[in-house]
Chain A
Amino acid sequence: MSPAPSPRPARRQHGSAVWLMLPAFLLLAIVFLGPLLQAVWLSGQASSLLTGLQPVANGGANWQRLLGDGRFWQDTVFTLRFALVSVGLELVLGLAMALLLHRPGRGGGLLRALALLPWALPGTVLALGWRWIFQAPYGPLNALIQFLGGQPYGFLTTPATTWLFAVVADVWKSTPFVALLLLAGLQAIPAELEESLQLEGASRAQILRRLILPLLGPWIRLAVLFRLAQALGLFDLVQVLTRGGPAGSTESLALYAYLQAMRFLDFGYSATVVVATFLLLAVLTLLGWLLLRWGRGRERDRQRGRPVSPAAAGGAG
């Protein structure tokens, strides 16, 4: 006997949605939640050469060590600085690039493909290329400086400035990605809106500020979220470009966790660094998310013609 058709199809749809999502949840649990929980557990253990690489509970000693670990904090500062500066630059340059590519014209497809090339390059290959360019004193950049009558500069050997050149390499690679995302957003903005604003005599800057940027908002948020998550997990670029040097000035948190495990064989502490990094990212992402939600709320209020806040009520209009 076949089952009677359900009287409430909506409910059945809901049930099947859960079943359809289950594999994805399982996969996430296995590849993400499992390792994370394992790292949390390991961060409470000593697992080093002194314990024969066997886990032995050490009652929070890893976390106490982390607080006083100058190298961890130095790496945190570098990672944050690198991520914020490079994502900021990529956003500005990516927007400019997207606006240029958005213009209709001959050879647009070819230009777009060319612009995407750096993004398609493997990170290690790109880092090797930049290492050659920055090499002192015989790299092409120093050759140019010397040709122009300057002194060769240690781009990758000066602790105070080397992080900037890591940013340059990252911006070069990732700007096309941001540009592509924003370009997709630009294509979704109806051309009639722009035309009507132009007819009303709006300048380019006004169109950008009043029309394009607000409508591009969701795409910008997406780009920032993607790029921030990637930049905060920085590893391959610095591993190849500088190996974290000079004097540890470009060592990212991911690289530090890697070195603790692979060079010092200190797996308990490596897990502690991983968990601390994850917590840091989670807090940052949460903050960013709240900020964006607040921004979106303001936007919605504005669209509904309501004052932004009680304090601004008098001036709004």
Chain B
Amino acid sequence: MLRLPPAAATAAWSLRRLPPPLRLPLLVGLLLSLALALLPATLPALPQAPATTVRLLMPAPFVDATAPLVATFNREHRELQIELVRGPLDSEAISDLAIGSLLLGASPYDLLLMDGSWTARYAAAGWLEPLETWLGDDALAGLMPGARLGNAFAGHLWRMPLTADTGLLYWRTDLMPQPPRSTAELERIAVDLQAAGKVRWGYVWQGRQYEGLSCVMLEALQAFGGRWWEPQQGSSAGRTSLDSAAALQAAAWLEGLVHKGISPPAVADFAENEALQLFAAGDAAFLRNWPYAWREIEKGGGPVRGRVGVTTVVGAPGQRGGGTLGTWGLSLLRGSDHPREAAAVIRWFTGPVVQKALVLDQGYAPTWTSLYADPELQRRHPLLEVQRQALEQGPLLRPLTPLYAQLSDLLQRRINGMLSGAETAAAAMGDAQRASEELLASTSGEAAR
């Protein structure tokens, strides 16, 4: 039986006052909760391995594609080990995961594979180390000019690009002898083919309310000579110009594609895969998509296999078209314990060896100019030439501002509303412009108008 010291036994709240069956459980419970409260929050770390380990967080498909190369690297470099951490597939989810730990102060990762549209936000939040310190001021010198865009912000290099994908236009070689050179030509070919009953739909693209629609809209703006974002000279600030005449024409063009029956109404709910599936089934003459779509079509063995051509995104007559830059790149997270080693990993990982494997394995566009002249790549990856053209033509950069995610969100909402018939093109763009101005005013500390 439990013996209590006399002082405790005489105290008014003594355990003796409790009915005997309750005494022992109560005491054990109290001691247990005390022990739990005093237990250190984390278990002691295992003894450190002698080698430096650099932890790299990236979406799972990149881990799968690069794991064999990393295994070789780890065998050859005993003192420097790379640990790949599998992140979620969805790019927004992996960003949330990274931000969650960055907001807490110390990130468990040294490197993060970043989407191009995050760079300004992460840099402004102070979560990244400037890379020029480790990689030198000429780190981007060997890259295609188009691939250099969007990695620097406010005078520093924050990201070393691993891929250089742009939006591309897919067309059916069995339905037309030549790809269109302008939006007007595309429309005419599509209407003729539909009228002749050769194909159900003319042109499919991404109209769902998500980031892909912003990429499509950016291409439409460029096609009609409009701009989304006008950066202010000498500062990271800027303004939107979504209610310009050219911007209205761009929105009206997308709206017209649905209205005229060139694009199916369901395009308002299409992401990359839905559009790709419809095109791969032979139900559309044109498709807007990223480079990966070509491999999917050729791999899939559907009715259009071997009948697909790829070209750069077209502009309106007299305008230069361009594809949106949608790239991944490596950044060094602030607070890394071994930035020098992590920078060495960036250099190797974004170097030609890994990129070549990614091109052959996944169809990503490489960033290095030298790889575009590589005979093996040219032979085994027929898309390389059009990827080079797209990068030389001047790919389109999404607004380089810390507010990009919010600007993109509000534009997607209006454009998607327009595509599903809730708003006219003029109203949608007027709304988007007004909402963008209010966003800029409320976040920059200017007074309300």
Given A262-B96, A263-B95: A50 and B406 within 8 A (CB)? no
Asked if A51 and B413 sit within 8 Å, CB to CB, the answer is no
Residues of A near B402 (CB, < 8 A) are: 48-50, 265
C-alpha gap A58/B209 in the complex (Å): 30
Residues of A near B237 (CB, < 8 A) are: 50
Residues of A near B269 (CB, < 8 A) are: 159
With most chain A CB atoms within 10 A of its CB, the pick from B124, B414, B445 is: B445
Residue of A nearest to B438 (CB): A65
Asked if B413 and A70 sit within 8 Å, CB to CB, the answer is yes
Determine how close the nearest CB of chain B comes to the CB of A244; give it in whole angstroms.
10
Residue of B nearest to A46 (CB): B445
Residue of A nearest to B404 (CB): A264
B34 adjacent to chain A (CB < 8 Å): no
With most chain A CB atoms within 10 A of its CB, the pick from B209, B443, B444 is: B443
C-alpha gap A243/B209 in the complex (Å): 15
Asked if B441 and A247 sit within 8 Å, CB to CB, the answer is no
Contact residues, A51-94 vs B (CB, 8 A): 51-53, 56-65, 68-71
Asked if A262 and B125 sit within 8 Å, CB to CB, the answer is no
Contact residues, A233-275 vs B (CB, 8 A): 243, 247-248, 262-266, 268-269
Asked if A49 and B441 sit within 8 Å, CB to CB, the answer is no
B373 adjacent to chain A (CB < 8 Å): no
B91 adjacent to chain A (CB < 8 Å): no
Asked if A58 and B409 sit within 8 Å, CB to CB, the answer is no
B135 adjacent to chain A (CB < 8 Å): no
Residues of A near B445 (CB, < 8 A) are: 45-46, 50-51, 56-58
C-alpha gap A243/B414 in the complex (Å): 21
Given A71-B409, A262-B103: A50 and B448 within 8 A (CB)? no
Asked if A269 and B435 sit within 8 Å, CB to CB, the answer is no
B contact patch SS = helix
How many A-B pairs have beta carbons closer than 8 Å: the answer is 104
C-alpha gap A262/B405 in the complex (Å): 12
Asked if A68 and B443 sit within 8 Å, CB to CB, the answer is no
Asked if B99 and A263 sit within 8 Å, CB to CB, the answer is yes
Asked if B435 and A265 sit within 8 Å, CB to CB, the answer is no
Contact residues, B402-430 vs A (CB, 8 A): 402-403, 405-406, 409-410, 413-414, 416
Given A70-B410, A71-B410, A263-B96: A48 and B405 within 8 A (CB)? no
Asked if B100 and A61 sit within 8 Å, CB to CB, the answer is no
Asked if A268 and B413 sit within 8 Å, CB to CB, the answer is no
Residues of B near A53 (CB, < 8 A) are: 125
Contact residues, B328-371 vs A (CB, 8 A): none
Determine how close the nearest CB of chain B comes to the CB of A265; give it in whole angstroms.
6
Interface of A toward B, CB cutoff 8 Å: 45-46, 48-53, 56-65, 68-71, 159, 243, 247-248, 262-266, 268-269
Interface of B toward A, CB cutoff 8 Å: 92-93, 95-96, 99-100, 103, 121, 124-125, 208-210, 237, 269, 402-403, 405-406, 409-410, 413-414, 416, 431, 434-435, 438-439, 441-449
Q: What are 21 A-B contacts defined by CB distance under 8 Å? A: A50-B124, A50-B403, A50-B443, A50-B444, A50-B445, A52-B124, A58-B444, A59-B448, A61-B446, A62-B442, A63-B448, A64-B449, A65-B439, A65-B442, A68-B431, A68-B434, A68-B438, A69-B410, A70-B410, A264-B406, A268-B443
Q: A48-B402, A61-B442, A61-B447 are in contact. List 9 more A-B contacts (CB 8 A).
A: A45-B445, A56-B445, A58-B441, A65-B441, A65-B442, A247-B208, A248-B413, A268-B442, A268-B443
